[in-house]
Structure 1
């Protein structure tokens, strides 16, 4: 019985996904969408900011965006290893200086009532260690992070947003420039 379980773990879908090249995984859809957008938009690509959910928190996708000098926002799901310290991404951001506090209205949705939330906004430039891959470990990537924490409960609402090349764009709640 134990041997059967062990064998199924080694031959299971998760192990098979790890062995697939990035281009063969479903998560490659984010890069494919960026490539298609670049083909359609051509010279306007520097004006476009790709906004992605947690599914796009993929090292290879962010590396692609950085290599191609494309602006993007990805909501982080991975508490990544940082090259420059002992802390992981979320802990490092939690210790970062607060830039300001903003109150936003969270609209009613489903059975939840409309409410106000006060956020602390922080930013940090960081270098993220690349994950180990079957062919070895790629080079680390350096990018900027913006984070919003709900102050009333200390919950990390936005967790972390990876932001690259924001000199021309800032969310409404932040004064320009977000990053120097």
Structure 2
């Protein structure tokens, strides 16, 4: 898949407001105002300041069309972690998410990592389907939500998550 008309770069702190502005539209208001607050809280400016080398911004004609925020684990030296990824609705199903993950996999391998981890909310079926299509395995868990294995209270009370792992 080629993305010749796409400009991909590492984020800078000034990208933070632009990313926050698209979250509600890109997620289609998923989980209402609670989801909006959770998404914003998951992406504080510090990710654009301190994890820029391992993260990516994709733009077409100067407009944000995708991003991936990831980092190398400092505690697990063979692992890296995709913290948050987004692709504009107009670009979804066109390979951009896969492309951004590919860049992150290459970056991770280049830094001696062989495992990539990610999570998603229990209710985000689209993310679940994307990750499983990308070759991620769902980690075993003691509970299910709509047939998807979830880690109960993973991010705090009532914040169940699906946990993914992929060897690269």
Q: TM-score, normalised by structure 1?
A: 0.29
Richer in strand (by share): 2
Larger radius of gyration: 1
Q: TM-score, normalised by structure 2?
A: 0.31
